[in-house]
Structure 1
Amino acid sequence: MKNSVKQLLRTNPNIGLSIARWTLGLVLFPHGAQKLLGLFGGYGYSATMESLTTQMGLPSMVGFSVIMIEFFGSISLILGLLSRFWAVALTGMFLGIIFTTQLEHGFFMNWFGNQAGEGYEFSLLVIGLALSIVVNGSGKWSIDRLISKK
């Protein structure tokens, strides 16, 4: 196995990291399934792409990346497969979300519908969990750990 791949898969065998990874993956999966498959009351791929590109003005490659990162990244995090890669992708995506749509609305989420948009507190939680995975790896119960042990 090449050294760079080994570094990507290397993980601290800590149960807490597995819990952080599962939490992040399980929270993000419904959002990705909404965007890609139309599950959980979502609109599916075509309508989501239309919204991201036409209404929000994002380039189509960015819209596509958002959908793929949320859906396949969440599944990969749940399994512990290439978790560092997906955690970096999520960190970048959520930093983009903060700076393009949330910063102007302040810290707090729009729990009571009295703000013009969402604040960035949820995004900071996602980034924090993702960065712990970037630094330490997938944790004890992960495919990454099984592969790196061989």
Structure 2
Amino acid sequence: MTTKSVLDRATTNTQLDGVSADIGLLIIRVVFGALLAAHGTQKLFGWFWGYGMDATAGMFDGMGYNPGRFFGTLAGLSELAGGLLLALGLLTPLAGAIVVGTMINAINASWGPGLFGQGGWEIGLLFAVVGAGFAFTGAGRFSLDNGRPWHRQGFAVGAAAVALGVIAAVITLIFKWVL
């Protein structure tokens, strides 16, 4: 058997080739969404070796997000809701907007050490990029959005979701600086 015939067999289209991108989106969406939701539960409830709300409130106060309980609750709920919506593939552009807005604030809070410094902002940037990516691509075929009237994807929807996330982040930052 020649190398060419092996490659020809490996690239032969099958019925599963039509859903491979949807399977990839499902894997990324579920793992990413579950991890983000877990971060939210760490802040809110102390689950998964998290600090819980009292320590989270103190941490947010220390970062200048006063009152810390309000902003800590907002961050925890945003991570939990955005993560669960992404994991389920439900209202995906809105979930992407929630993630982008939340992570812009995470980047702001961790700006000092730099991108890769201890406590730096590379994870916030990574999460924001994944959220923005899902706002543009949609959740894929294997999602609760699939076939629903609100299922949307594409440039206009993605750009609107990212803009909504940025606007929400800016409003949150304004409240941080004003309160």
For normalisation by structure 2, the TM-score amounts to 0.62
- 2:133 — aligned with what? 132
1:90 to 93, 99, 111: 99
Mark the structure with the bigger radius of gyration: 2
1:56 to 50, 58, 63: 63
Tell me the SS of whatever aligns to 2:145.
helix
Is structure 2 residue 104 aligned with structure 1 residue 103?
no
What is the number of residues matched between the two proteins? 129
- 2:124 — aligned with what? 123
Is structure 2 residue 93 aligned with structure 1 residue 68?
no
Whole-angstrom distance in 2 between the partners of 1:78 and 1:108: 27
Whole-angstrom distance in 1 between the partners of 2:82 and 2:104: 16
Whole-angstrom distance in 2 between the partners of 1:149 and 1:30: 26
Between the aligned residues of both structures, percent identity stands at 32
Whole-angstrom distance in 1 between the partners of 2:144 and 2:41: 22
Is structure 2 residue 18 aligned with structure 1 residue 17?
no
- 1:30 — aligned with what? 38
Is structure 2 residue 145 aligned with structure 1 residue 144?
yes
TM-fit CA distance, 1:142:
0.8
Whole-angstrom distance in 2 between the partners of 1:22 and 1:105: 30
TM-fit CA distance, 1:109:
4.7
> What stretches of structure 1 of length at least 5 have no aligned partner?
1-12, 111-117
For normalisation by structure 1, the TM-score amounts to 0.73
| Between 38-47 and 90-99, the greater mean CA deviation after superposition | 38-47
Q: Closer, same or farther in 2 for the Cα pair 1:119/1:144, shift >3 Å? A: same
Q: Closer, same or farther in 2 for the Cα pair 1:34/1:40, shift >3 Å? A: same
Q: Closer, same or farther in 2 for the Cα pair 1:90/1:102, shift >3 Å? A: same
Whole-angstrom distance in 1 between the partners of 2:150 and 2:120: 41
Cα deviation, 1:45-99, whole Å, max 9, x if unaligned, reads 34423432x3223144433220101112212211111121121111111112212
Whole-angstrom distance in 1 between the partners of 2:65 and 2:113: 19
Q: Closer, same or farther in 2 for the Cα pair 1:120/1:86, shift >3 Å? A: same
Q: Closer, same or farther in 2 for the Cα pair 1:76/1:50, shift >3 Å? A: same
Tell me the SS of whatever aligns to 1:105.
coil
* Letter matched to residue 71 of structure 1: L
